[in-house]
């Protein structure tokens, strides 16, 4: 994504912090490009759980994908920021609502994304969320997850430290709780379809992986 577009996206957000964060995040994180690659041939609606500022939705729109996107997050400040960006950019088919994903999920039939939020859930909550999300994936659709994986690597230790820092600086409302293992994803999701797990840390020191369930 060009510097011109990231600068324009940043200008849509009301807060000074977000206007610095948005271009830096879009520039440095391989996440949004990787999700684009997974969804670019689909026209199914997308449910984005823990959408934050709605960066995935904005990235996909700016990259030419036009399916409807519904983002949910329990941080009202971020939902307000995402809604402001939609108004400023006059985007169509993007909706953002305040919702705690621990309280269940709305009806949906399409693709689902869960990006960098599972660490805030305990093991039972993770399993419930993953199953609810998988049930909402249409045949031919995908559940695309990014998560730090719990393992013995130095990357895993840095991942935990980064999430603790996000809590201490109040960027996140909650500190990290539990990180799933690769085996957890296989155990919970493989009855729904094919599960694929690949590293997705790009230039970062984090132990991030992309987990894709194809129904």
Q: What 3-state DSSP class applies to 79?
A: helix
- Least CB distance to ligand SAM at residue 121 (A): 7
**35 with 96: CB under 8 angstroms?**
no
- Least CB distance to ligand SAM at residue 139 (A): 25
**50 with 70: CB under 8 angstroms?**
no
75 lines the binding site for ligand SAM (CB under 6 A): yes
101 lines the binding site for ligand SAM (CB under 6 A): yes
Please give the residues from 39 up to 58 whose contact with ligand SAM meets the rule CB under 6 A. Answer: 50-52, 55-56
Residue with token string 């519904």: 70
Give, as one character, the DSSP assignment of residue 118: G
Q: Which is nearer to ligand SAM, 20 or 102 (CB)?
A: 102
H or E stretch covering 39: helix 31-39
62 lines the binding site for ligand SAM (CB under 6 A): no
Interface residue with ligand SAM among 18, 62, 116, 184 (CB under 6 A) is: 116
Q: What 3-state DSSP class applies to 60?
A: helix
**54 with 32: CB under 8 angstroms?**
no
102 lines the binding site for ligand SAM (CB under 6 A): yes
Would you say how long the chain is, in residues?
215
Interface residue with ligand SAM among 12, 96, 120, 179 (CB under 6 A) is: 120
Which residues are near ligand SAM by CB under 6 A?
31, 50-52, 55-56, 72-75, 78, 100-102, 115-117, 120, 173
């Amino acid at each position: 994504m060009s510097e011109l577009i990231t600068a324009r996206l940043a200008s849509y957000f009301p807060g000074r912090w977000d206007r610095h964060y948005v271009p830096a995040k879009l520039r440095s994180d391989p996440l949004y490009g990787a999700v684009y690659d997974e969804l670019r041939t689909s026209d199914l609606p997308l449910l984005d759980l823990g959408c934050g500022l709605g960066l995935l939705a904005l990235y996909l729109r700016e990259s030419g994908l036009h399916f409807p996107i519904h983002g949910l997050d329990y941080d009202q400040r971020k939902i307000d920021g995402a809604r402001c960006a939609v108004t400023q950019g006059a985007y169509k088919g993007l909706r953002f609502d305040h919702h705690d994903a621990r309280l269940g999920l709305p009806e949906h039939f399409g693709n689902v994304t869960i990006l960098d939020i599972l660490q805030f859930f305990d093991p039972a909550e993770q399993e419930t969320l993953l199953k609810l999300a998988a049930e909402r994936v249409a045949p031919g659709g995908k559940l695309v997850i990014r998560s730090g994986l719990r393992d013995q690597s130095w990357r895993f230790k840095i991942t935990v430290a980064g999430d603790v820092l996000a809590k201490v600086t109040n960027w996140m409302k909650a500190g990290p709780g539990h990180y799933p293992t690769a085996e957890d994803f296989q155990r919970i999701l493989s009855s729904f379809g094919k599960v694929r797990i690949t590293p997705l840390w790009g230039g970062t020191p984090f132990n991030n992986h992309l987990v894709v369930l194809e129904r």
